[in-house]
Amino acid sequence: MSASSPVIYVRYNIPEKYIEKIKTLGATVLFEPWQFGKEEPEVHCDLSECDVILTLGLMDPLTIRNKAPKLKWVQSLSVGLDALLHEETINSNLIITNTKGCTSIPIAEHTVAMISAFARGLPAMLRNQQTRTWINTAIKDLDGATLGIVGYGEIGKEIAKRCKALGMHVVGCRKRPSITSSSDPADEVVGLDEVDNVIKNADFLVLALPSTKETYQFINKKKLKLMKSSSYLINIGRGNTVAEADLLEVLTKQQIQGAALDVFEVEPLPSEHPFWEQENVIISPHNAYYSPKSMDRYMDIFLENVTRFKEGRELLNIVNKDLGY
């Protein structure tokens, strides 16, 4: 795999300065941004020599692949590859890379904000402010509270690092718990076979799971009923890892204290969805990943990968298409 002068089709509206940086690497750039959420546009460029596509794997199913017979590599500007990974791409020789690691810090900061908001009663305070009601709200100490992180990877480690500074006891839960180091910020790292215990003991349960066949509706009625009645759920992973109807039921019955949700089964979240009405729910529009530095981080990886692609070296962040991440 090498190309002295790669032809790159860009389907995401990246700033012009990055287009120029790509060109300085000796690449030919074809630029037709797709505003994701709107109907897929027609391709007007000649993709017969295209060997690289830069797109958003979360939204782009790559139906245009047949127009690019020489395509070798797709760089996704999202970590999630919900649309991009399907039978055709999985069974192909196509190399797919993503932006793993670029969003870990902003997602961790967002998660800490949600944990702190619930602990200090901010949702209730903001409602009271609107009605000019002076009344105390329920408060929970973070010092000594237990945080369970299901899907403990790079994002989980950044969350753990910050929550340890708040005096929390952090338990990570992941598929391969043996891959640890002495510098790991969590107090414990356990396997998914112990996930029920993690859920039972957590005062705050954070979901950072990828979207795979195994994680589809991983958090369902059975697992939600294991949670403490005083606990909170925070999902910054993938929307389809939670059975939303089951979550709505336990929230409505106040069987858990609340939930902070950044991701949903359907996005944007429909205006008629009952989650909007729940006083014990904080909704964010799938922007936990966002930072003013996000695009710089994404493009640093892509520019490095373009150089590696030209030189025939292994790319950064190659996705295991069978695992889905």
Look-up of token digits 């204290």: 257
Q: Does residue 233 fall inside a structural domain?
A: yes
What is the tens place of the pLDDT at every residue in 229-262? Answer: 999 999 999 999 999 999 999 999 999 999 999 9
How many whole angstroms separate alpha carbon 228 and alpha carbon 209?
21
Q: 44: which DSSP letter?
A: -
**Separation of alpha carbons 25 and 8, rounded Å:** 11
What lies within 8 Å, CB to CB, of 163 at 6+ separation is 112, 115, 142, 147, 170
Evaluate if residue 302 carries a pLDDT over 70. yes
Q: Are 231 and 205 in contact (CB under 8 A)?
A: yes
Q: Domain range for residue 46?
A: 7-102+292-311
CA distance 100 to 54: 15
How much is the pLDDT for 2?
Answer: 57
Predicted pLDDT of residue 182: 78
The per-residue pLDDT for 36 is 85
Selected catalytic residue, list 214, 267, 311, 314: 267
Domain for residue 142, yes or no? Answer: yes
H helices of 98-170, where?
104-119, 122-130, 154-164
Mark whether 11 is an active-site residue. Answer: no
Whether omega before 268 lies within 30 degrees of 0, making that bond cis, reads: yes
Question: Could you tell me if 110 and 97 lie in one domain?
Answer: no
For the record, the structure tokens of 254 come out as 């106040």
**pLDDT of res. 183:** 86
Q: DSSP string of 160-229? A: HHHHHTTT-EEEEEES-TT---TT--SSEEEEGGGHHHHHHH-SEEEE-----TTTTT-B-HHHHTTS-T
Residue 292: CB atoms within 10 Å:
7
- In this structure, the answer to whether residues 92 and 157 fall within a common structural domain is no
CA distance 138 to 265: 30
* pLDDT confidence bin for 179, thresholds 50/70/90: low
Catalytic residue status for 273: no
Judged against a pLDDT cut of 80, whether residue 3 lies above it is answered with: no
The helix or strand, by DSSP H or E, that contains position 297, with its residue range, turns out to be helix 294-311
262 and 300 belong to one structural domain: no
Total structural domains within the chain: 2
For 81, the token pair is: 């590859």
The reported pLDDT for the residue numbered 24 is: 97
Pair 193, 236 in one domain: yes
User: Do 36 and 127 share a domain, yes or no?
Assistant: no
Looking at residue 37, its pLDDT comes to 81
Output the domain CATH number for residue 160.
Answer: 3.40.50.720
Instruction: Based on the fold, state whether residues 269 and 199 are members of the same structural domain.
Output: yes
Is position 169 annotated as part of the catalytic site? no
Which is the catalytic residue, given 11, 110, 238, 244? 238
